[in-house]
Amino acid sequence: MSIFLPELKYGLDKLEPFLSQRALDFHYGKHFVNYINAANALIKDTEFDNMSLRAIVKNSDGALFNNAAQVLNHEIFFNSMAPQETAMPESVRDLVLGSFNSAEELKEQIFKSATAHFGSGWTWLVYDAATGKLEIRNTGNAANPITEGLVVLLGLDLWEHSYYLDYQNRRADYVKGFLEHIDWSYAERHYVRALTR
């Protein structure tokens, strides 16, 4: 089984002016595609060939983990955004209010976490089924919290390639833009799936 490039659910120009078409062209069409090609080359004729992407991420290490996890990370990232922030579904709102004082506080915490992270990596909104609460996690490089048994609801790419064309060194402005383009219905889908598992 090959790993395929998931279709973008919005046009490459639809996140402007937050992210330019040129930047998305590189990020989706080049960086993302390169991780997919590299992961496919590494799984060819191995025991990973018949695994789902998530299973590969949970069971691999080294170069395969790095590339497969980056495929999953980017799939989550591009699906975490929408041309306009979507309304927060009730189930997600209840979950947010059970874990933070308000949706605004959640966003402030994501902002703080993402701007404080050193180097390449990711900021995640995760659901911990053991506590029934949301948490914000940062990971370095390709790491994804699903390997710790957490449910990922949203992901924000902090690699410089994700914002440098539009924002250069201004990561904070990029993070602010992300917080105005969250697709909460995507977060809900993963939350509901975790509840019914």
Instruction: Return residues touching Mn ion (CB under 5 A).
Output: 157, 159, 162
Conformational region of residue 168, where left means phi above 0, alpha means psi within -120 to 50, and beta covers everything else: left
Closest to Mn ion by CB, 90 or 119: 119
Best CA proximity match to 34, nearest among 85, 11, 68, 80:
68
Q: Smallest gap, in angstroms, from Cβ of residue 91 to Mn ion?
A: 29
Closest to Mn ion by CB, 157 or 166: 157
HSE-up (13 A, CA, CB side) for residue 181: 22
Closest to Mn ion by CB, 128 or 160: 160
| Radius of gyration in angstroms for the set of CA atoms belonging to the chain, rounded to a whole number | 16
Conformational region of residue 53, where left means phi above 0, alpha means psi within -120 to 50, and beta covers everything else: alpha
Q: Output the six-digit token pair for 162.
A: 């994700």
Closest to Mn ion by CB, 157 or 188: 157
Q: Smallest gap, in angstroms, from Cβ of residue 73 to Mn ion?
A: 7
The burial class, CB within 10 Å (0-12 / 13-18 / 19+), for 138 is: middle
Closest to Mn ion by CB, 95 or 158: 158
Q: Smallest gap, in angstroms, from Cβ of residue 158 to Mn ion?
A: 9
Q: Smallest gap, in angstroms, from Cβ of residue 70 to Mn ion?
A: 7
Residue nearest to Mn ion (CB): 157
Q: Smallest gap, in angstroms, from Cβ of residue 122 to Mn ion?
A: 9
